[in-house]
Structure 1
Amino acid sequence: MTAAHDSSASGTKRTPGPRVLVVVVAGLTLAVSLMLLAFAAPAVNSGAHDLPVAVSGPDPALANLEAALDASSPGGFDVTRYADAAAVADAITARDAVGGISITPDGVLIQTAAAAGAPYAPLLRSIGAGLAAKGQPMTYTDLVPLTEDDPAGSGLSALALPLAFGGMISAVGLVTLFKHSRTLRVVGSIGFSAVAGVTITAILQFWLGSIDGSFWLTATGVALGIAAISLVVLGLESLFGYPGLGIGAVIMVFVANPLSGLATGPWWLPQPWGAIGQFLPIGAAGTAIRSAAFFDGAGAGPALVVLGGWIAVGLALVALSARRATRDEVLVAA
């Protein structure tokens, strides 16, 4: 009787004590605090940081303009001189500049591209207002406007979460369903990314009217963004197990997402974080998608290379885990 009682008692799981509760509370508090910092710090410290601005005009007038820009926002502008207003326009549409100021015999021409990011056109218009206050005749031209259905660019700005969530949830679902087949996981990830890329682009272009560029080029950018996240997370899980999913979530959701500059472009974020974000999947995908949707693909090359690199890393991790599993099986058989 006593032995049976002792056996039953020893088999009962012990409830964690107050110390464990304190550790859990402290850990969760730290996690939400870091989450707040990850998302809020870039936003709070955002502003003009080496914004590429194209200018043209007589040298003395440009010297005065550059001095005025530097005085208004030290370190805020990276000014490049061009031959004339047409060359400035080419730089903007090629995504070498977010906007331009040309001093001509007829006054000052400010050329913008609203599709380049939310803050830039209003910023250049505010500069124009300052010049107008000094008696300068002003002309404004938006070379690459947003669509009439979405003049604020909200649809494109909201893409960060679908990209991160799509990549993460597909990886988790495939790991759960195909526990013993790396091949099916990879094929499923690529297939889902392709279908999701087409679907999301169709919603943005034909339902919400947020974009009006090349459908297939934009869909490719979306698909590559999701695939880069999904395959890397799959690779991390294949190599490290479920902790790999946690590592992937931290990288993609708490690092890549807030540093993506999806709504503003990288120049509006504090540096070097804006530049770092462009080497992560969501930032690179955002640049590729914006270039495809509004600029006929101009400026998408480096972003596509980054996405291809992340996809290659994910596939390499999966291959490495498969090789390790084969080696372990051989050792067990021996």
Structure 2
Amino acid sequence: MSTPASTPAEADTPPSGTDATGTTGAAKKLAAVVLGLTAVVTMMLCAFALPSVNGGPHHVPIGVTGPQPAAQGLGAKLDGDEWDVTVYADTEALTAAIKDREVVGGIALSGGKADIYTATAGAPTATAALTALGNGLAAQQRLQPAVHDLVPYPEDDPRGAGFAAAGLPLIFGGMFPAVLLTRLFPGHAGLRLRLAGAVVFSLLAGAAVAAFLQYGTGSLAGSYGVTALGLSLGMAALSLTFIGLEALAGMAGFGAAAGVMMLLGNPLSGMASGPYWLPDFWAHLGQYLPPGASGTLLRANSFFDGAGAALPGTVLTCWIVFGLALILIADRRAARTAG
């Protein structure tokens, strides 16, 4: 029994719903990608623009000294949301506090002069604001101003450009080895190799970056060995955290950590401005993330003979312990699954 021949229109028509379903799925995927990229760009803009827009002195610790009535009056006048003022007995106590990083600078009134003491390498933007403040006060009271920079940047890099530019390389120095080691040594079998590789890389990369910044560009001073160890500590804190999150939660964990470090850690690190140029909450948050702690530790080791290194060193050590704990949990979980 013969069947009727298909018409040309019937022969060219695909099964019902195939094109519609495929087109709908592709449209949904495209919409998700476009919306996701838009959200990422918006978050990046917020993360990098808001600190700049809201930047300014926020509870910057400074000192004043001089004749007691004048010093007390000046301290009461300045103390507020912008400046946290401490009155010191004499100029020697003030300069010692600056070198110990108890304050970022100060003003000494004596003999018709206003001496402005700063430490540019500790907080460059706050130093500029303090200098402007001191000059303005001197002009109001008809005093002769004089600026003394107790801790400047090195002569080869007087603006600290090399130091400020080290922020992103420090973050990438933690991300790239984690990605590469995960690709080369995947799975549970390669977890310990990834751990060993991250530790060795951190030591070598810290030494290389310190050598380049100190001897190549002249951007750092102080003990090379101590500076290199501090940089290695910062890179290890990042890379071990990335490896631990990837081992425990896959690429989703790695992506979340990368987003936090790039979108929050970098703009809140204070590498270029110092830690006192952001609103209080964001300034403190930045100092408890590895990029900000690494930058503060680098300042302390390179310019202040280790003064103020305890807190950032402790923060980075805690991040390393956190990363090691994640790696240990992932290792135990994989061992139980295999068993």
Asked if Structure 1 and Structure 2 have the same fold, meaning a TM-score greater than 0.5 normalized by the shorter chain, the answer is yes
* SS of the residue 1:119 aligns to: helix
Partner residue, 2:93: 87
User: 2:148 & 2:334 partners in 1: Cα distance?
Assistant: 60
Percent identity (aligned): 46
Is the CA contact (8 Å cut-off) linking 1:51 and 1:76 kept in structure 2?
yes
1:250 is displaced (CA, Å) by 1.2
What residue is the counterpart of 1:191 in the other structure? 200
* Residue of structure 1 equivalent to 2:304: 295
Q: Which digits, 9 at most, give the CA deviation of each residue in 1:283-326, with x for residues without a partner?
A: 10100001111101110111000000000000000000001111
Distance 1:216 1:83 in 2: 37
Match among 136, 140, 145 for residue 152 of structure 2: 145
Residue equivalent to 1:46: 55
Does structure 2 retain, via aligned residues, the 8 Å contact 1:116–1:290? yes
Cα drift, residue 195 of structure 1: 0.6
**Match of residue 246, structure 1, among 255, 258, 268:** 255
Contact 1:47 1:268 in 2 (8 A): yes
Offset, 1:16: 3.5
**What stretches of structure 1 move > 4 A for 4+ residues in a row?**
none
Aligned position for 1:237: 246
What amino acid is aligned across from residue 151 of structure 2 in structure 1?
V
Q: Do 1:58 and 1:103's aligned partners in 2 also have CA atoms closer than 8 Å? A: yes
**RMSD between superposed Cα atoms in Å:** 2.0
Query: Counterparts of 1:3-22 in structure 2 under 5 Å?
Result: 16-22=25-31
In the alignment, the residues of structure 1 paired with residue 221 and residue 281 of structure 2 have an alpha-carbon distance, to the nearest angstrom, of 32
Per the alignment, in what secondary structure is the counterpart of residue 124 of structure 2? coil
Q: Write the deviation string for residues 262-281 of structure 1: whole angstroms up to 9, x where unpaired.
A: 11221111121101111110
Once the two structures are superposed, residues 170-225 of structure 1 have per-residue CA deviations (whole angstroms, 9 ceiling, x without a partner) of: 10011111113211111100111111101011111111011121111111111111
Within-5 A mapping of 1:268-307: 268-307=277-316
Give the structure-2-normalised TM-score: 0.90
Q: Tell me the amino acid that sits aligned with residue 119 of structure 1.
A: T
What amino acid is aligned across from residue 318 of structure 1 in structure 2? I
The letter of the residue matching 2:208 is: T
Q: List runs of 5+ in structure 2 lacking aligned partners.
A: 1-10
Matches of 1:88 and 1:76, distance apart in 2:
19
Q: Equivalents in 2 of 1:84, 1:129: separation in Å?
A: 20
Q: 75, 80, 101: which is aligned to 2:81?
A: 75
Query: Of 105, 109, 127, which residue of structure 1 is paired with 2:111?
Result: 105
Q: What is the Cα deviation at residue 128 of structure 1?
A: 2.2
Cross-structure match for 2:336: 327
Supply the distance in 1 between the matched residues of 2:97 and 2:172 (Cα, whole angstroms). 35
**CA offsets, 1:60-85, max 9 Å, x none?**
21233124424xxx400011121111
Residue of structure 1 in register with 2:130 after alignment: 124
- Code of the aligned partner of 1:96: E
Specify the alignment match of 2:32 in structure 1: 23
CA contact (8 A) 2:123 2:275 kept: no
Aligned to 1:257: 266
**Counterpart of 1:102 in structure 2: which amino acid?**
A
Q: 205-214 or 61-70: which moved more?
A: 61-70
Q: Which residue of 1 aligns with 2:179?
A: 172
The code of the aligned residue for 1:116 comes to G
**Is the contact between residue 64 and residue 75 of structure 2 (CA under 8 Å) also seen in structure 1?**
no
Secondary structure of the residue aligned to 2:97 is helix
Pick aligned residue for 2:142 from 135, 141, 164: 135
Q: Which residue of 2 aligns with 1:60?
A: 69
Task: Kindly indicate whether residue 276 of structure 2 is the aligned counterpart of residue 267 of structure 1.
Answer: yes
CA contact (8 A) 2:64 2:94 kept: yes
Match 1:227 to one of 220, 230, 236 = 236
How many residue pairs end up in the alignment? 321
TM-score w.r.t. length of structure 1: 0.91
User: How far apart are 1:106 and its partner, in Å?
Assistant: 5.3
Query: Is the 1:112–1:120 Cα contact (8 Å) retained in structure 2?
Result: no
